[in-house]
Structure 1
Amino acid sequence: MTPLVVAAVLAAAVTHAGWNAIAHRITDKLVGFSLISGGGLLIGLALVPFAPLPAAAAWPYLVVSAVLHLAYYLLLMRSFRLGDFGQVYPLARGTAPLLVTGLAALFAHEVPDGPAAAGIALSCAGLTGVALWGLRGRRPDWPALGAALGTGVAIAAYTVVDGLGVRAAGSPLGYIGWLLLLQGAVLPGYAWWRWRGETMARLRPFAALGLIGAALSVAAYGLVLWAQTRAALAPVAALRESSVLVGAALGAVLFKERFGLPRVVAAGLLVLGTGLMLGSG
């Protein structure tokens, strides 16, 4: 990965943690995710007229990705309802890079060399350690952990699908614009059907916060899609999940969740793992 790609992925990590913190902060998860998804739809409508149409080979990936992103939203909503932000977010994100490594090797024929594989493993160990530390001294909340792990599987699946799709599309901007259109109407449509005449009253108090979350979400994934056209999928996925450490810091500041020495150690493992990935040939 070049320095520009690294900078783009790290910027994506920060913005990703930001929109997840916003989604967690909005108590009614359907309200939060409807605003974020609907805001993404509006951004997609603004992008599509100015971006090249994705190539025909990209459309099957777009359809599958839209379904996977919907599953991701539903699982993430459940995770945030059941568990602490500082635990379920790192677990969901920390498990994804290992799965991406296997899927990328299988479907994209991208097999990391020894240093890169070690870097990915170290990064995943650090990221998952952030979540497991949250279990200290108490019984695991299995429904929350199950939802977080399911979220990680969805993340890995759409990461690989979108990595292949954006390469086939010929236009990262066109790909993300159409992806936002395909996936963006489902949750707002369901919310409108469920609440009927109360929809606007429920959304209005959180509209500004939700739309900020939408902008951060689109920026985060747009940067990742661009990076996936310039570098292998697994290292990009692993570096992107440095958002876990940003999320842990946000959890400590915004939600009064303890940060602690284990998360500092996790940060060290992430830095070491990233160094191995960037230094591999």
Structure 2
Amino acid sequence: MNGVVLAAVLGSAVMHGAWNAIAKAIPDRLVSSALIGLVYLIGGAIGCLFLPLPAADAWPFLLASASVQTLYLILLTAAYAKTEFGRAYPLTRGIAVLGVTVIAVAFLGERLSGIQLAGVAVVAGALLTLAVVGIGRTSIHGVLLAVAVGATITAYSILDGVGVRVSGDPLGYASWLFLLQGLALPVTCFALSRDKRSFLPVIRRNAVRGGIGGVLSLVAYTIVVWAQSVAPLALVSALRETSVLAAGLIGLLFFGERFSRWRTVATACAVVGIVAIRVGT
């Protein structure tokens, strides 16, 4: 993993933490997901007009990933409605780091150095620690939802990691992925909404925040898809999930969530893990 890929993935991690905070801040979780989907629809459609069509072998992965990511966003916003941002976010990302690493190494033939494996383990352990410290004060329902979100992240990360490598063009793959999600998300969210009469007015009231969150999400994941085409999936996943460092600061500054001594230690350990991943390359 060269310095350009490293910097790009870390930049996408900061954007990822920011758009998740915006999703948390929008009161209606289905509206939050729908707004992100609308941005995906517009961005994906523009990309599809100018970028190459993915190879035929990539389409099963595209269709499966779009379905899983639609479920992911709906579960994610539900988890945010049930528990605090600083707990749900690192739990979902820590599970994904472990899941992607195990599958990539055991089944996809990826090889990591001992230092890199240790770095991934430290990052995952730090993220899980950030999630479980003081768990008695939070909703068990929210924690279970966060675990389910982590499972969907693992699934779509593997699907896209394999799909983008057979697609022939990472940006074309990302464009069609966003287009498919952009079609599915708003329709699914509207169908699940209990108060359909107020759905569009709430969309309009939150359009600016949701639009910003959608753009950050689109750019952040486009970077990840590109990085997956040139670097090991386990390393991209571990570095991407360092977005919890930004998320912890956002939770402290904007949601008034306490940043305890244990959270500070876990955050420092995550940074050490990142350094190990880079040094072990």
TM-score by length of 2: 0.95
Q: Which string of whole-angstrom CA distances, capped at 9 and with x for unpartnered residues, describes residues 231-267 of structure 1?
A: 1000110011110111011011110111232222122
CA contact (8 A) 2:85 2:251 kept: yes
Indicate which of 148, 151, 154 corresponds to 1:153.
Answer: 151
How many matched pairs? 279
Counterpart-to-counterpart distance in 1, 2:38 and 2:203: 11
Counterpart-to-counterpart distance in 2, 1:232 and 1:244: 21
Cα 1:258–1:139 shift into 2, 3 Å: closer
Matched residue of 1:185: which SS? helix
2:120 alignment partner in structure 1: 120
CA contact (8 A) 2:33 2:189 kept: no
Matched residue of 1:71: which SS? helix
1:5: how far off?
Answer: 0.5
Amino acid at match of 1:169: S
CA contact (8 A) 2:31 2:199 kept: no
CA contact (8 A) 1:87 1:134 kept: no
Alignment of 1:123-272 (within 5 A): 123-135=123-135, 138=136, 141-193=139-191, 194=193, 195-272=195-272
Cα 1:134–1:211 shift into 2, 3 Å: farther
Where does structure 1 lack aligned partners over 5 or more consecutive residues? none
Q: Which string of whole-angstrom CA distances, capped at 9 and with x for unpartnered residues, describes residues 94-153 of structure 1?
A: 111111011112332113221111110001111111111242xx3552211111011111
CA contact (8 A) 1:163 1:233 kept: yes
2:36 alignment partner in structure 1: 36
Counterpart-to-counterpart distance in 1, 2:239 and 2:280: 14
TM-score by length of 1: 0.95
Counterpart-to-counterpart distance in 1, 2:121 and 2:90: 15
Counterpart-to-counterpart distance in 2, 1:14 and 1:76: 18
Alignment of 1:6-45 (within 5 A): 6-45=6-45
Counterpart-to-counterpart distance in 2, 1:192 and 1:243: 29
CA contact (8 A) 1:29 1:77 kept: yes
1:187: how far off?
Answer: 2.6
Amino acid at match of 2:140: W
How large is the RMSD of aligned CA atoms in angstroms? 1.5
Counterpart-to-counterpart distance in 2, 1:154 and 1:241: 14
Name which of structure 1's ranges 72-81 and 55-64 shifts more when overlaid on structure 2. Answer: 72-81
Where does structure 2 lack aligned partners over 5 or more consecutive residues? none
Counterpart-to-counterpart distance in 2, 1:272 and 1:208: 37
Matched residue of 1:209: which SS? helix
Amino acid at match of 2:132: L
Counterpart-to-counterpart distance in 1, 2:105 and 2:71: 23
Cα 1:205–1:139 shift into 2, 3 Å: closer
Question: Are 1:99 and 2:99 counterparts?
Answer: yes
Counterpart-to-counterpart distance in 2, 1:153 and 1:190: 20
Counterpart-to-counterpart distance in 1, 2:74 and 2:204: 22
